[in-house]
Chains A and B, each alone.
Chain A
Amino acid sequence: MITVVSGLPRSGTSLMMQMLGAGGIPLLTDSLRPSDADNERGYFEFEPVKSLARDASWIDSAEGKAVKIVSLLLYHLPPEHDYRVVFMRRPLAAVLRSQAAMLQRRGEPAPNAREDEALSIHLQRHLDAVDTWMARHPRLKVYSVGYEELLRNPPDALSGLPKFLDRDFDLHSMAQTVEPRLRHH
């Protein structure tokens, strides 16, 4: 079984990876993307994931581990594995604000209100489609976690994870990784 942490970028996927690591799940990461002002504790990414659409040969190495995969790439998961997807949810307005700030820090032009409004429609359409796709996948189960709820009340937001991932967790250690100062703005 492969644990996948997914969602839109800036919805708390790195935080969830960090939490799962603190809870004792081995993480599939390579630390090639360094931490920065947008993710001070790191991105918890595995570089080959970015090319999942054309090369999934690494997927066997994710067995028994947790790997972060943005929602747009989930469709490319090879069908011959079992997946437990921890899907991070956050209001789209907050996701877009956070992405805009990140783009600016990367020297990219900031999207204007009209572009954000259009992208919000695109993101919602994508989330609806990916939810439908996940619900129909015969070997994939989903556990949704709200980013805001996770920051507000970690034990509550995490309470269903042990059953979902069929293992015991040190929920206290996991909850301690939340540092409100590092929330995505």
Chain B
Amino acid sequence: MFFTPRVKIEPALYARLKTVAAAAGYSTVDEFVQHALEKAAGQIELEESEEEIRKRLRGLGYIE
């Protein structure tokens, strides 16, 4: 389900996104931004998860 939040970005960045999205085969800038944000959020979540696992493994003596 989609809703329409407004996210302000600089015109120069929007122009870049438009070019990059088209070059990468996305049909719209929205589609590209959605994908890029999902990927970025997933990477941050993964880093957070692996830091939590790292703490556990240290407690168990498996890593330094």
Contact = CB atoms under 8 A, between A and B. Distances in A.
Contacts, number: 48
A44 to B, nearest CB: 12
A111 B31 CA distance: 41
- Most chain B beta-carbon contacts within 10 A, residue among A103, A108, A125: A125
Size class of the B contact interface (CB-based, 8 Å): 10 to 19
B61 to A, nearest CB: 7
Contacts of B57: 9, 70, 72
B61 A106 contact: yes
A33 B61 CA distance: 9
Interface residues of A, number: 21
A1 interface: no
B52 to A, nearest CB: 5
B39 to A, nearest CB: 12
A70 B61 contact: no
A119 B59 contact: no
Interface of A is mostly: helix
Interface in B38-64: 45-46, 48-50, 52-54, 56-57, 59-64
A70 to B, nearest CB: 5
Interface string A16-45: 000000000000000001000000000000
Contact of B53 (A50, A103, A108, A126): A126
Rank and list the top 7 A-B pairs by shortest CB-CB distance, nearest first.
Answer: A122-B49, A125-B49, A50-B64, A122-B52, A70-B62, A9-B62, A50-B63
Given A53-B63, A102-B60, 14 more contacts: A33-B61, A50-B63, A51-B64, A70-B62, A72-B57, A73-B63, A103-B59, A106-B60, A108-B59, A118-B52, A122-B53, A125-B45, A125-B49, A126-B46
